[in-house]
Amino acid sequence: MPLINVVQQLAFARDLTQIQQIVRAAARSLTGADGATFVLRDGEQCFYADEDAISPLWKGMRFPIQRCISGWSMLHRQPVVIPDIYADSRIPVDAYRPTFVRSLVIVPIRSIDPVGAIGNYWAHHHEATEEQIRLLQALADTTAVAIENVRVYGELEQRVRERTRELEAAREAAQQALESADRANRAKSRFLATASHDLRQPLQSLSLLNGSLRRIVREPAAGEALAQQDVAIGAASRLVNTLLDISKLESGAIRPEIKDFSFEELAGELRQEFTSSAVAKGLELRIESCAASVRSDPGLVGQILRNLLANAIKYTRAGRVTLRCLEADGCVRVQVLDTGIGIPAEHLPHIFEEFYQVGVPQNRSRDGFGLGLSIVDRMARLLNVPLAVDSQPERGTAFSFALPVGSTSAHAAPVRTASPDRTDGLPRGRRILLVEDDPGVREATALLLKSLGWAVSAAGSLTEALERAPAGNPPDLLITDFHLGAHSGLDVISALRSRFGGELGVILVSGDTSPAIQGLEPDRCMRLARKPIEADELLRLMSELLARSEPA
């Protein structure tokens, strides 16, 4: 067997057993010996690990290193050549008598700190040649490298196994954390949905009762008290809505729905919403036309701009508030500018923090809660549209962000104008079916409607609603809550429209902000109202729907 072949075989050996099998056969083949052994040092003993011989030698046996010729070779770190074992005092002849051995050559495996030895034996008198010794020593050196490779390979395998176990443990931990986070998010979503409904119920009752009292009370002092109470209810409602919005943003309950939409359509809605509040303060509101289509979530973009415009109007004493968009370099830069009080430079890093307001002492009543810009910042980060702000005290502030240009096919839809305010002028006697499972809200709503001369049938469930609206006696309008215990407001709408036809006007009221409500698209005979809804807003929606059935 050529030595080069042996070297190649040893290079691919992956454990000590493979090395022993290769070496024992190669040692005998390279020298033409009658036997070969593979010896390992085991502390102070020589362990005859393997052999290839014409008859048994010492495989599996151990001898003291000081009394073994293999041990002598390892201790002295040099080859041993003995032509006649019975003529050398280093040989324990009693151990050799049962064997065929008459001559031998031993070479150490590794010259520095040997780990073993290779022995060749002949049954006759033989003195190993220089070539045989050189071949055996080359084999031993190669074996030393192979043993070290096996050790390193074993350590690497062990590290890989340990790392694999660590990664598996980390993966399991990550999976458990993900499942735990998912459960927490689901629980938080359920809590938010419940909180949205339950927190708004008492506010809804207060708002409607206040609306009823404003229509009944004529005494000026009482009217002023009711007006102040109305302001307090509105402030509480805004705070609840804002805190729930922040919670939803932090919990991941709000996810952007990216699509192409017309910025001009959104601008039209904002122009209609904010013109009156700007005029009331003596401000000029400029919402410039913009033919660009943008790609983003229209609801979130609209909310960002509503908060920025409301802030701009609030903090501008005189002059104007402007909304404009500039198309350049594949994006549309949206700007909200005002000529208001401005923000000092030292406050700019903090304006997006919760409850942070510039120039409002802690002991004074606040106009707002300092949460609007915090929500704006969270929504902008959710959309991955960084906000920029530039401000100079007493000269004004500019907020801006960039949106990707959308498809040119997204055309502006005509802005729907509100119906004239006819809340208290509709003919009396209209039949209203009210479905609300909260007794307080149900009584407050019924009281408001009855005070205006409308006939109200109130129900707390789908079953009661069907009893109070028998076939052949359709209501003029249905007002129903979304959550009704075992059923939903959609079940009520479906059942009553099946009985009376799809043209039945409906106001669906809910404090829920879950995807079930957010994704609902009302038809032309339905309006959505978010709790807590003010009395005037509820009556306005009723006017829109009831006006459809009036004679021309």
User: Six-digit token pair at 305?
Assistant: 């701009």
Same domain, 250 and 262: no
Q: Is residue 27 left, alpha or beta, with left meaning phi > 0 and alpha meaning psi from -120 to 50? A: alpha
Mean pLDDT along residues 286-303: 85
Q: Kindly list the distances between the CA atom of residue 75 and the CA atoms of 45, 103, 488, 535, in Å, as whole numbers in the listed order.
A: 11, 21, 92, 104
Mean pLDDT along residues 269-284: 86
Q: What are the tens digits of pLDDT across the range 500-525?
A: 888 888 999 887 655 556 667 778 88
Under 8 Å between Cβ of 246 and 378? yes
Answer with the residue of higher pLDDT: 330 or 420.
330
Mean pLDDT along residues 140-149: 88
The pLDDT of residue 409 is 54
In which domain, by residue range, is 268 found?
A: 257-404
**CATH code for the domain of 201:** 3.40.50.2300
Q: Is the pLDDT of residue 425 over 60?
A: no
Answer with the residue of higher pLDDT: 43 or 532.
43
- Can you give the three-state secondary structure of 12-33, one letter per residue? CCCCHHHHHHHHHHHHHHHHCC
DSSP-derived letter for residue 348 is G
The pLDDT of residue 197 is 61
Q: What are the tens digits of pLDDT across the range 36-59?
A: 999 999 999 999 999 999 999 999
My answer on whether omega of the bond before 344 falls inside 30° of 0, hence cis, is no
The DSSP bridge partners found for residue 39 are 48, 117
**What is the overall mean pLDDT for the chain?**
82
Q: How far apart are CA 286 and CA 278, in angstroms?
A: 10
Ranking 11-15, 103-107, 176-180, 253-257 by mean pLDDT, the lowest is 253-257
Q: Is the pLDDT of residue 355 over 60?
A: no
User: Six-digit token pair at 436?
Assistant: 């609300």
Q: What are the tens digits of pLDDT across the range 379-409?
A: 888 888 888 889 888 888 999 998 988 876 5
Q: Is the pLDDT of residue 463 over 70?
A: yes
Same domain, 366 and 270: yes
Answer with the residue of higher pLDDT: 489 or 200.
489
Give the DSSP H/E element, type plus range, for residue 194. Answer: helix 130-216
Answer with the residue of higher pLDDT: 432 or 362.
432
Same domain, 24 and 96: yes
Same domain, 467 and 549: yes
The pLDDT of residue 430 is 81
Pick the closest to residue 430 from 490, 474, 460, 389 (CA basis). Answer: 474
Same domain, 366 and 289: yes
Instruction: Kindly report the backbone phi and psi dihedral angles of residue 487, in degrees, each rounded to the nearest multiple of 5, phi listed first.
Output: -125, 175
Q: Is the pLDDT of residue 194 over 80?
A: no
Mean pLDDT along residues 77-86: 93
Instruction: Kindly report the backbone phi and psi dihedral angles of residue 191, in degrees, each rounded to the nearest multiple of 5, phi listed first.
Output: -65, -45
Pick the closest to residue 437 from 363, 531, 535, 306 (CA basis). Answer: 531
The pLDDT of residue 519 is 62
The pLDDT of residue 382 is 85
Same domain, 120 and 199: no
Does 166 map to a domain?
Answer: no
Whether this prediction's pTM lies above 0.75 is answered by no
Q: Is residue 355 left, alpha or beta, with left meaning phi > 0 and alpha meaning psi from -120 to 50? A: left
Under 8 Å between Cβ of 322 and 400? no
Q: Is 358 exposed, middle or buried (0-12, 13-18, 19+ CB in 10 A)?
A: middle
Mean pLDDT along residues 528-543: 83
Q: How far apart are CA 45 and CA 64, in angstroms?
A: 4
Does 442 map to a domain?
Answer: yes
**CATH code for the domain of 375:** 3.30.565.10
Same domain, 481 and 521: yes
Give the chain's length: 552
**Helix 372-383, helix 298-314: angle, nearest 10:** 150
The pLDDT of residue 371 is 64
Q: Is 184 exposed, middle or buried (0-12, 13-18, 19+ CB in 10 A)?
A: exposed
Does 162 map to a domain?
Answer: no
Q: Is the pLDDT of residue 414 over 60?
A: no
The pLDDT of residue 120 is 93
Same domain, 284 and 398: yes
pLDDT range class, residue 362, cuts 50, 70, 90: very low
Q: How far apart are CA 274 and CA 374, in angstroms?
A: 21
Q: Is the pLDDT of residue 116 over 60?
A: yes
Q: Kindly list the distances between the CA atom of residue 21 and the CA atoms of 15, 60, 70, 313, 333, in Å, as whole numbers in the listed order.
A: 10, 14, 19, 90, 77
Same domain, 24 and 87: yes
Number of structural domains in the chain: 3
Same domain, 360 and 442: no
Same domain, 221 and 107: no
**CATH code for the domain of 110:** 3.30.450.40
Does 171 map to a domain?
Answer: no
The DSSP bridge partners found for residue 527 are 507
Quick one: what percent of the chain has pLDDT higher than 90?
Answer: 21
Same domain, 196 and 120: no
Does 177 map to a domain?
Answer: no
Q: Is 389 exposed, middle or buried (0-12, 13-18, 19+ CB in 10 A)?
A: middle
The pLDDT of residue 81 is 94
Give the DSSP H/E element, type plus range, for residue 388. Answer: strand 388-392
The DSSP bridge partners found for residue 48 are 39
Q: Is the pLDDT of residue 283 over 60?
A: yes
The pLDDT of residue 416 is 43
User: Six-digit token pair at 386?
Assistant: 């960084």
Q: Which of 77, 103, 128 is the last residue of a domain?
A: 128
Does 363 map to a domain?
Answer: yes
Answer with the residue of higher pLDDT: 132 or 184.
132
